[in-house]
Structure 1
Amino acid sequence: MDEILSLLPGYNCGSCGFKQCRDFAAQLKSKDDIQRCPFLEREMFMDNFEKLSELVSGTSSAEEAKIIGVIDGLEADFMLAPLKDECSCREFIHPFDGSVEINVGDFLRYRPLGCPVTHFAKVIDIDPGIYTIHMVGPLHRLGRDDFEFKDAGLCMILAFEGKVSRGKLPKVGQTVKFVPEYCMMQKVHSGMVVGVEGKDVRIEAIDLKVW
């Protein structure tokens, strides 16, 4: 128990429902229990979170199920799930064809550079030349024949924002391999982590041609 206690923030703030961190440490049995402490999801305590997870589960990270890309057989560091109450991870794309007029709310057909699959997405925000989208699927997933869209053509994928749902939480500045949960091919992507808040991450410098 002393080892677990040494990894807790030690603020005795009561946010977890216990008066002291010592009382909280005594009842830890799973990762879900650990998440009751709001401070352990902050970047400065990420290493402690991982060590506590190993201690309370009785397993090491190496013993956990590996995340393997289906199409390429590569091992990923984590699975990336949508942010809370969103339908897919946020993607930030740049169409090579700048002549297409795109507005918030439009549906796009596009193909990410480095991916053989045509995607469909809804535009949720716009910066000059950069479109934030939620992917809504390849067409067969939509289940409708009257689907109207604009053809954005070949696009560069600039960034992802999502939540780590399985695997090791990354640190800012770390180059990572990850699999978006909704990716039809379950293909390993790579990029650099530029933001971490709890389990929410932003990954830039995206490369779909991972070797």
Structure 2
Amino acid sequence: MRIGIVGTGTMARVLGTRWSRAGHDVLVGGRDVERAAALAERIGARAGTLRDAARYGRDAVLLAVPYAAAAGVAAGLGDAVRGRTLIDCTNPVVAGFVLETAGGPSAAERIAAAAPGASVVKAFNLCHESVWGLTPPVFDGRPLAVPVCGDDEVALETVRGLVRDLGCVPVNGGGLHRAGLLEATAAFLIGLWVGEGVDAQAIAPPLEYAGVHAS
């Protein structure tokens, strides 16, 4: 695949590294072109501007910028993301583990509104960047499951493929209207992990005990 990465932070570095090693053609774009070039050299990718990344990402564009800047950056990409699969990995979580978008559209929906020609898919927002760097992310013999939310089946299948390239298992999270639930889950889990030092996996029983097969 040809993948454009908009941003030069840790998520851009970790996911870009994994996808480049999986054989995809990656271009990293940033406001600071020298920083983008340094990251691209490090991960075996090409470099350019933000719009270069969007144009290059014929198959997928990862929006890997802080949530506060995400809608503005998406809007600034304009026609460069029209018809593209735009992956939103942002988390609108502020101090106190509070969801900044509570009571309103989700981050993913705001990004979709800012880039109306793109097919936005919410994914890769539930884990710290260090998890995505694991090769692969497998815990007690079980690969990490990655929920994805979106409305375009072609875009969803593209992202599912990129999830599998990390050694993870894609999980259907529903339409983009459910992205807010995924973002709220991230806020809650981060609060448990960071605020309370709790192993969040301990709060959910295995599937066979979840009552889904109860009569």
TM-score (norm 1): 0.26
Structure with the higher fraction of residues in helix conformation: 2
Say which one has the larger Rg.
Answer: 1
The structure richer in strand per residue is: 1
